[in-house]
Structure 1
Amino acid sequence: MATVSSSSNTGESPCWLNRHVLMLGYQGSGKTSSCITISGQEDDSARQPTKEASLFTKMLDSSQLLLVDTPGWGLDSGERLDGQSPTSAHVRHLCYPGVHALLLVVPIGESFTEQQRQGMLERLESAGMHIWRYCMVLFTGADRLWGNGVEEFIAEGGTAIQRLVEKCGNRYHALDNTCPENNTQISELLQKLEEMVQENEGSFFVINDSIQTPWSEHTQRREEHDRMMADDAEVSPIFRSPPRELRMLLVGWQGAGKSSAGNIILGGRKFESGRRTESSLRCQAHVSGRRVTIVDTPGWDWYSLHRTPAHIRKEIRRGAGLLHPGPHALLLVIPVISTLTVRKRQALENHLEMFGKEVSLHTMVLFSCGDWLGATPIEEQIQRNGGQLLRLMAYCLNYYHVLDSTSATRSEDQVSDLLLKVEEMVAQNESRPFLPVKLNEELDDEATCGKCTLQ
């Protein structure tokens, strides 16, 4: 194994340029293989069970990634993260002064039971409840997905795996250790890790709280502030702390501008615009201090739910499943100069109600092509359009926003305003995401389903 001495662990570089990552999981989950894939270091003993904690390093542009591999847990193991056992003491030494991220390694293709989830919770929470803000699930064996997305695996993997992902703030990544030359999967993982570090304001988790560092004091003050906010039951929902992640589903007519809207929100060419979207696609970026995840979906028919092909309806519904544990908002994209008739409005509402009768609580009208308005305020355009658009707005509880695809100077401001409106909607819904579908159910035109509450 790639082990280091106490002197080599401290190194010459300042600790604030390092990123300490701790690999945890059950025996045979693929921790060591993942360390090799991420770091690019070879290890002749990788096929043998890990007997002691070891260190892998990867040099980055402006920092150094320090990966600490650990012995696998057994189902009946009493190993804890409180720094008292010999193994924990060695881990604490390798990770000094603290851990920026804990990767909980779970293999794809093997069942993850409620007993395993409970075992993880007991081991981790022995080190403190605030440990979860530093955790991410790392799925190994991504080659077993056979071309499907990891989101589908999570959605169909059972309650235990879903609850673990939720506990980690819906932070996860899939890794194919049979293809170490795939640099894209490594780059995406490193980006997610850095986003988590930034969300935690650069702080790290101290395994043994007796180790006093400037950051441990900072973390304690932050925890006390969070507890005070949680205990204040009289605070209006609008003023509660916003979610660190926003998950949004783009829906609407064919050619309404959904893909372009997704690109504007995420700040880059994430979706292929200018051509028909055939399948739902999930993309993510860090926007205005938040992790924003968007799923673009195929367009539906302008005039009737029945005229939208069944495979398109199923694909749209699958898109909602890619936003586990559920989208915070459905963005109904409508070109700003569209004229609504009774038939078109009813078609929009019927398509939305594929997701259930409570869908209107989570839907915002997103007007695309805002540059067509010129100097005309959107409110004037809504009044000019007439009663059908007003009825649609009332159906969506008057949540709406305009995106101007030509205004590069206003792009950041208009996106920030949109995210604030979505957060207000989330607060009004008591921070509950909306999971209206199950992937393994057949869709019919009158399908309705319930709401899934984030635990």
Structure 2
Amino acid sequence: MATVSSSSSTGESPCLPKRHVVLLGYRGSGKTSSCITITGQEEVPAKQPTKEAVLCTKTLDCGQLLLLDTPGWSLEGGDSVAEGLDEQSSTSAQIRHLCYPGAHVLLLVVPIAEPFTEQHRRGMLERLESAGMHVWRYSMVLFTGADRLWGNGVEEFIAEGGTALQKLVERCGNRYHALDNTSSENSTQVTELLQKLEELVQENEGSFFVINENIQASWPAQMWRGEIRDGMETGEAEVSPIYRSPPRELRMLLVGWQGAGKSSAGNLILGGRKFESGRRTEVSLRRQSHVSGRRVTIVDTPGWDWFSIHRTPAHIRKEIRRGAGLLHPGPHALLLVIPVISTLTSRKRRALENHLEMFGKEASFHTVVLFSCGDWLGATPIEEQIQRNGGQLLRLMEYCWNYYHVLDSTNAARGQDQVSDLLLKVEEMVAQNERRPFLPVMLNEELDDETTCGKCTLQ
């Protein structure tokens, strides 16, 4: 057994929470390279096949990550799961020892550069499900070789990657991440992965997947001849419709005035009390949930000034931009939250547009106007309210290419339907943008106040 540590401390701090993560996959899938990318350790030999389990540790501000690299599986079969699991039965004991008392997350490593076939999928399922169907609660797909995407989103790769790949991602609860192991300078991709890992840990309430002797048992061959077992799909099962129209994962940024109802809107969309509503948001917060067959991630941001971008403090603007960075590589949509009861003046409209342009000149193509306080409308259609409000609201609608939606947080009966309708509109907007899901977010640039003031000349 081998142990490598990236911590500069002489011992593990007992007060830091530990997160146990195991990398599993076929030989040559990029498990070891991923360990190096995630932990920053170059002591681990990435060029040679992994012969025994290797434990890498990384000390973080909030705790400690224990990342277990394992020997690769053989595509031809014959090796049981925790054998590497590998071809030697001793590997199973190594993994149980190094990962005691269990794993918070199982990362299923899949290389982007190679086709993922039905043989790959069935071999992976046979190994994993020998430990029990609950294994999927702890599983996430880790795509390696993100540099091979050539500028496209990983969602597009999944959509075009075939039924076997799509079924695997769906089996993992639509949890996935892509790593470029050739880039040691892109720390954002690691930060995003760590956030996803922690969210999965919280989703499972901190519980472990216990690796024991049961994981060595393989399913009988006849189980793969079309027989159905305990909720498992057959090879002929249809792919979920969410794979047929990208994006399958939706990342959205809540923006708008102070007190506009952004946090409440985020709670309604995610289906729970994810954000603290009723009080001013000081920092950007990232939360996610599974909604209407999609993995939805939302960042709530501090509110900006009602009348001028120049009156929004620089640290608030920076915090809003940081919020966009939490949705690496960028949000699919900006949700511009406006109370439906608000009267939009020329000054307010220009301030809204100027604030949106913090995200680039094309921000309007990616913005949905989200009207909060929808209960105030009663039976009045939103279109009628827009007409009543006058030309300024119409001009804002034109600026945002007429993408808008109404949320009524008091109508629990329609809660799911109105959220599903919103997500469909966001997906439609992404499709209209030629499936370019990401905004050109300028995270490291500060606004030029003089330029900003010039843009904010109000009539």
Aligned to 1:245: 249
CA distance in 2, matches of 1:415, 1:48: 40
Aligned to 2:265: 261
Q: What is the one-letter code of the residue matched to 1:395?
A: Y
Which of 435, 443, 446 in structure 2 is aligned with 1:442?
A: 446
The secondary structure found in structure 2 opposite 1:406 is coil
The secondary structure found in structure 1 opposite 2:362 is helix
Which of 197, 201, 221 in structure 2 is aligned with 1:186?
A: 201
CA distance in 1, matches of 2:427, 2:284: 24
CA distance in 2, matches of 1:193, 1:49: 18
The secondary structure found in structure 2 opposite 1:364 is strand
Identical-residue share of aligned pairs (%): 59
CA distance in 2, matches of 1:390, 1:281: 31
Aligned to 1:380: 384
The secondary structure found in structure 2 opposite 1:292 is strand
C-alpha distance 351-113 of structure 1, shift in aligned 2 (>3 A): closer
Q: Deviations over 1:83-114 (max 9, x none)?
A: 99xxxxx99985466995466599xxxxx997
Aligned to 1:349: 353
Aligned to 2:32: 26
Question: TM-score, length-normalised on structure 2?
Answer: 0.59
Q: What is the one-letter code of the residue matched to 1:429?
A: N
CA distance in 1, matches of 2:107, 2:350: 57
On the 8 A contact 1:138/1:173 being kept in 2, the answer is: no
CA distance in 2, matches of 1:334, 1:360: 15
Aligned to 2:322: 318
On the 8 A contact 1:83/1:92 being kept in 2, the answer is: no
CA distance in 1, matches of 2:426, 2:325: 19
Q: What is the CA distance between 1:243 and its match in structure 2?
A: 2.2
The secondary structure found in structure 2 opposite 1:357 is coil
On the 8 A contact 1:250/1:262 being kept in 2, the answer is: yes
CA distance in 2, matches of 1:68, 1:188: 14
The secondary structure found in structure 2 opposite 1:425 is helix
On the 8 A contact 1:305/1:351 being kept in 2, the answer is: yes
On the 8 A contact 2:359/2:442 being kept in 1, the answer is: no
Alignment of 1:223-242 (within 5 A): 241-242=245-246
C-alpha distance 440-93 of structure 1, shift in aligned 2 (>3 A): same
The secondary structure found in structure 2 opposite 1:409 is helix
Aligned to 1:297: 301
On the 8 A contact 1:321/1:435 being kept in 2, the answer is: no
Question: TM-score, length-normalised on structure 1?
Answer: 0.59
Which of 387, 390, 393 in structure 1 is aligned with 2:394?
A: 390
Q: What is the one-letter code of the residue matched to 1:318?
A: R
On the 8 A contact 1:303/1:344 being kept in 2, the answer is: yes
Alignment of 1:44-443 (within 5 A): 53=85, 54-55=91-92, 94-95=127-128, 101=139, 104=142, 133=169, 158=185, 162=189, 186-188=201-203, 214=227, 218-219=234-235, 241-443=245-447
CA distance in 2, matches of 1:393, 1:280: 26
CA distance in 2, matches of 1:285, 1:192: 18
Q: What is the CA distance between 1:442 and its match in structure 2?
A: 2.8
Q: What is the CA distance between 1:129 and its match in structure 2?
A: 6.3
Q: What is the one-letter code of the residue matched to 2:201?
A: I
CA distance in 2, matches of 1:189, 1:34: 23
Q: Deviations over 1:333-364 (max 9, x none)?
A: 00101111111110000000111111111101
CA distance in 2, matches of 1:190, 1:105: 25
CA distance in 2, matches of 1:244, 1:129: 13
On the 8 A contact 2:105/2:197 being kept in 1, the answer is: no
CA distance in 2, matches of 1:366, 1:373: 14
CA distance in 2, matches of 1:48, 1:296: 35
The secondary structure found in structure 1 opposite 2:410 is coil
Q: What is the one-letter code of the residue matched to 1:23?
A: L
On the 8 A contact 2:107/2:142 being kept in 1, the answer is: no
On the 8 A contact 1:22/1:103 being kept in 2, the answer is: no
On the 8 A contact 2:55/2:69 being kept in 1, the answer is: no
Unaligned 5+ runs, structure 2: 2-21, 26-30, 40-52, 58-66, 72-82, 86-90, 97-101, 110-115, 149-156, 210-218, 453-459
C-alpha distance 318-213 of structure 1, shift in aligned 2 (>3 A): same
Q: What is the CA distance between 1:434 and its match in structure 2?
A: 2.4
The secondary structure found in structure 1 opposite 2:439 is coil
Aligned length: 341
Q: Deviations over 1:176-210 (max 9, x none)?
A: 8xxxxxxx87343689999xxxxxxxxxxx9x9x9
How large is the Cα RMSD of the aligned pairs? Answer: 5.3
On the 8 A contact 1:249/1:330 being kept in 2, the answer is: yes
Q: What is the CA distance between 1:418 and its match in structure 2?
A: 0.9
The secondary structure found in structure 2 opposite 1:247 is strand
On the 8 A contact 1:247/1:329 being kept in 2, the answer is: yes
C-alpha distance 328-68 of structure 1, shift in aligned 2 (>3 A): closer
Q: What is the one-letter code of the residue matched to 1:188?
A: E
On the 8 A contact 1:334/1:367 being kept in 2, the answer is: yes
Q: What is the CA distance between 1:412 and its match in structure 2?
A: 1.2
CA distance in 1, matches of 2:257, 2:146: 41
Q: Deviations over 1:284-343 (max 9, x none)?
A: 011111111110000000111111001100111111111112111101000101111111
On the 8 A contact 1:301/1:307 being kept in 2, the answer is: yes
CA distance in 1, matches of 2:146, 2:405: 43
